[in-house]
Amino acid sequence: MVRRDPGLDVALIEKETTPAAHQSSHNTGVIHAGVYYIPGSLKARLCVEGNRLLYDYCAEKDVPVERRGKVIVATEESELDYLKTLFKRGQANQVPDIAWLSREELAEVEPAVSGIAAVRTPSTGILSYRAVTESLARDFQTAGGTYRLGVACTGIEHRAGGTAVVETSSGPIETRRVVTCCGLQSDVVAGLSGDGPDPRIVAFRGSYAALRPEAAARLGGNAIYPVPRPEIPIFLGVHVTPQISGEMWVGPTAVLAPSREGYRMSQISLPHLVSTLRFRGFRKLMGQHLRAALEEGVLELRPALLAKHLQQMLPWVEEADLIPRVANGVRAQAVAADGSLVEDFEIHDERPVMNVRNAPSPGATSCLALAKMLADQALDGLGRTVAGGGGA
Ligand SMILES: Cc1cc2nc3c(=O)[nH]c(=O)nc-3n(C[C@H](O)[C@H](O)[C@H](O)COP(=O)(O)OP(=O)(O)OC[C@H]3O[C@@H](n4cnc5c(N)ncnc54)[C@H](O)[C@@H]3O)c2cc1C
């Protein structure tokens, strides 16, 4: 927005004192290719476009990135139908160079991975999204934006004449446009502006283990994913992903988080748990997926079971190859009142306030494409500012 209209005053407020303190630095660090998403959805379009924009951006700004490729591996006949569906989706989404691999072709690409077929996407990459966010924050300030860390939004009031007042922990800001994108707090902050309660964010905590270096060295360098369960396609299953730091992570699991930003199980918030359990959508969701939820919990607690689980794709892995709990993250997943998981990105625009209600994975991959779309929408109708007039 600041680049497109240098006359605008644009302020970005962030309640934490560092950039990317939550999901954007507690994630797997994968640049997704765009396979999983329903053709025509925002996710499908913005992920594929975001993938390309992100590689270009990293090249321009010297942000370390590696184009590693990824295999989605079927280990049982029963998974082939859904793998074929994903392959067709990837083709429809125009994922570059997507390929179907036979058992033999998979063995050439990843000799230590066992599977009966796979889909490979060479455009999958890895990077640090913290580094990307820090670079974007520098760009924003250089272009004239005001970046205020440690400032929380505490209220949003619509005013007559189409403006809004954002109440913050360091005073009010009157503005002609507000865009909120608050991750784990997105429903709470949207609620401050009068947006409805649906969908609600349910926080799922995930933990990663790491493969010991000798075990990681057996792999060919691709990200290695199982075929997700068709009934919960947005949880991609426990995967093995190289990190830009050189580690090889295994995970994440997905269990109910003890609080919205509860990275450790000791960070329990009783009001959060009570309110989640009282949410009808969550109870319905658990009613449908209780078994899967319990299995995920057990995987995190028992590294031996995590190793056994991994053996479907990596039959040689043993518990001793795993370093448990090297990292964790909490994902913001929007859940509708009827218990369905909101799959696509969801944005509610009630001028002058635009609330991003759901931006889960591949939100980080899509960040530049999503930002472009939001900026177009936010600037539309604002009119160009008179030189020197400022105000946004
Ligand atoms: C475990 C995990 C793995 C993932 N892996 C990947 C991956 O490999 N690839 C990928 O593309 N995506 C991945 N994702 C998804 C991706 O991380 C998110 O889609 C993306 O980071 C969302 O960005 P965001 O800015 O919406 O949310 P966040 O990064 O969570 O940022 C929201 C910000 O809003 C701030 N905030 C909240 N409330 C207020 C307030 N009242 N006032 C001011 N500021 C406020 C928070 O402090 C926070 O910094 C993963 C997510 C998780 C959790």
Summarised one tens digit per residue, pLDDT across range 112-127 is: 999 999 999 999 999 9
Residues in contact with 166: Cβ distance below 8 Å, sequence separation at least 6, in sequence order? 13, 153, 155, 156, 172, 173, 174, 175, 178
What is the mean predicted confidence (pLDDT) over 205-228?
A: 96
Q: Are 268 and 255 in contact (CB under 8 A)?
A: no
Q: What is d(CA 184, CA 252) in angstroms, rounded to the nearest whole number?
A: 17
In this prediction, residue 384 has a pLDDT band, given cuts at 50, 70 and 90, of low
User: What's the CA-to-centroid distance between 278 and ligand 1, angstroms?
Assistant: 25
CA 387 to ligand 1 center in whole angstroms = 35
Please state the pTM of the whole predicted model.
0.95
Name the closest-CA residue to atom 34, ligand 1: 182
DSSP per residue, 21-41:
-STTTSS--EE--S-SSPTTS
Of residues 201, 246, 196, the one with CA closest to residue 221: 246
Taking only the tens place, the pLDDT of each residue in 291-319 is: 777 777 777 778 888 999 899 999 999 99
Q: How confident is the model at residue 233 (pLDDT cuts 50, 70, 90)?
A: low
Residues with CB under 6 A from ligand 1: 13-16, 20-24, 26-30, 32, 152-153, 181-185, 189, 206, 252, 329-331, 359-365
> Which pLDDT does position 387 carry in this prediction?
37
CA 357 / ligand 1 centre spacing (Å): 12
Which atom of ligand 1 lies at the shortest distance from residue 204's CA? 53
Run of H or E residues at 54: helix 42-61
Q: Give the pLDDT mean for 215-240.
A: 89
Q: Which residue has the tokens 């960040």?
A: 367
Q: Which of 12, 17, 27 for mutating ligand 1's site (highest number of atoms within 8 Å of CB)?
A: 27
Atom of ligand 1 nearest to the CA of 16: 47
Check whether 17 has a pLDDT greater than 70: yes
Q: What is the pLDDT of residue 290?
A: 79
What share of the chain in percent tops pLDDT 70? 97
Question: Does residue 386 have a pLDDT over 50?
Answer: no
Q: What is the pLDDT of residues 40-77, one digit of tens each?
A: 999 999 999 999 999 999 999 999 999 999 999 999 99
- Per-residue pLDDT band for 5 (boundaries 50, 70, 90) equals confident
Of 92-106, 200-214, 260-274, 293-307, which range is least confident? 293-307
Residue 4 confidence (pLDDT): 86
Poorest-pLDDT segment among 41-50, 66-75, 141-150, 377-386: 377-386
Q: Whose CA is nearest to atom 9 of ligand 1?
A: 30
In tens, the pLDDT along 338-360 reads 999 999 999 999 999 999 999 99
Task: Tell me the percentage of the chain whose pLDDT exceeds 90.
Answer: 83
Task: Tell me which of 23, 28, 54, 132 to substitute to probe ligand 1's pocket, judged by most ligand atoms within 8 Å of the beta carbon.
Answer: 23
Question: What residue's CA is closest to ligand 1, atom 26?
Answer: 183
pLDDT, position 310: 94
Point out the ligand 1 atom lying closest to the alpha carbon of residue 151.
43
Question: What is the number of the ligand 1 atom nearest to the C-alpha of 154?
Answer: 41
221 pLDDT exceeds 80? yes
pLDDT at 372 over 60: yes
Question: What rounded mean pLDDT belongs to the chain?
Answer: 93
